[in-house]
Amino acid sequence: MGILFLDVIECTDQQPGELARRIPREGSAETKFGSQLVVRDYQAAIFRKDGKGTDVIGPGRHTLTTKNIPILTNILALPFGFKSPFRCEVVFVSLRTIPDLKWGTREPVAFRDAELGLVRLRAFGTYGVKVADPMAFCNSLVGADGMYTTTQLEEYLRSSIMTRLTDTLGEQLKSVFDLASQYEELSAALLARLSDDFSRFGLAIDNFRLNAVTPPEEVQKAIDERSKMGALKNLDAYTKMKAAEALGAAAANPGGLAAAGVGLGAGVGMGGLMAEAMRSGMGGGQAGGGANGAGSAGGEAAPGRSIADQLRDLAALHKEGILTPEEFAAKKAELLKKL
């Protein structure tokens, strides 16, 4: 196969996912001083000799001379004297910012939680990157490859991100219970650490985001339980509020058993004792209401109400959750004995 001669050197179809493309893709080609090199606005061109970058040329249309590729010229002149045409490789490096690259943990990372002990976490996020130093990028990552893509870059940088993630979580996060308020701080800390790592490869990182840290299912349950415990701290206020609402509803129907039961429950601080207080009220009503025979289940609050009406009120209390199933069954049996 004949030697490829490059009279005009350019890369016209570099795709957004391509970070570097070598011309020619394999081996080397021949060109000469006086040939044209076309570098687009989003590119930098690097002449290479023996797989190593020599000169970086920026955007524009250039006529190759000993002035614009001085390092390569010196190499060509030694030790056997300058020859034209000469063999060369040119790598076109994309200077575009590549947004929304994905990163994530393949395996969970170990984290020592201050409250839960050792847990394993998965983390996911995005970042943007661009080539800031084409020569460093070409020599450290591209090497002899004919093409270098963002997929290759993501794989290569994943280990650096995972190492920095583990360090940052261990230093800045005390417990997974604090995660919701720490995403911005953790993202900023990771960006600062990774900027130095990426710069060694000629890259600038931009907009690094930690989008999610996912604990295992058992830890998520522990977080849910903690939320419930936080709600229980305000249970007394919650019970008082619900009792006040129930009293307002009872005012619209003052003759019902539900009104008597809620009225008694409002005097007790905890919702679990409301039914017990209601039962005490019922017992007092029966003791003081002997003139009325069996008396009503709600004491003197509703004289003359039928057993069927009292059962309906009892069912309403059970439906509202004021009476437990056991309490409802016991009182229902008590009323049915009076039929």
Question: Which tens digit of pLDDT belongs to each residue from 31-52?
Answer: 777 888 899 999 999 988 776 7
What's the CA gap between 75 and 107, in Å, rounded? 48
Please determine, for residue 208, whether its predicted confidence score (pLDDT) is greater than 60: yes
Are residues 289 and 218 both part of a single domain? no
Q: How far apart are the first and last CA of the chain?
A: 110
Are residues 111 and 218 both part of a single domain? yes
pLDDT tier at 237, thresholds 50, 70, 90 = low
Are residues 102 and 81 both part of a single domain? no
Are residues 121 and 136 both part of a single domain? yes
User: Token pair 């001083």 is at which residue?
Assistant: 33
DSSP assignment of 56-79 equals EE-SEEEE--TTTSHHHHHHHHTT
Average pLDDT, the chain: 76
Number of folded domains that form the chain: 3
Are residues 262 and 188 both part of a single domain? no
Domain end point (choices 61, 79, 94):
94
pLDDT tier at 233, thresholds 50, 70, 90 = low
Helix (H, G, I), strand (E, B) or coil at 48: strand
Are residues 103 and 181 both part of a single domain? yes
Domain end point (choices 188, 222, 256):
222
pLDDT tier at 189, thresholds 50, 70, 90 = very high
Q: What angle do CA 223, 224, 230 make, to 5 degrees?
A: 90
At 54 the pLDDT is 81
- Residue 87 or 56, more confident: 56
Please determine, for residue 277, whether its predicted confidence score (pLDDT) is greater than 70: no
Are residues 254 and 177 both part of a single domain? no
Which residues span the domain enclosing 149? 98-222
Are residues 105 and 89 both part of a single domain? no
Least confident of 41-50, 78-87, 90-99, 322-331: 78-87
Amino acid identity at 186: L
Please determine, for residue 274, whether its predicted confidence score (pLDDT) is greater than 80: no
**127-to-14, 150, 191, 229, 280 alpha-carbon distances in Å:** 22, 12, 9, 37, 66
Q: Is residue 211 part of a domain?
A: yes
- Residue 222 or 112, more confident: 112
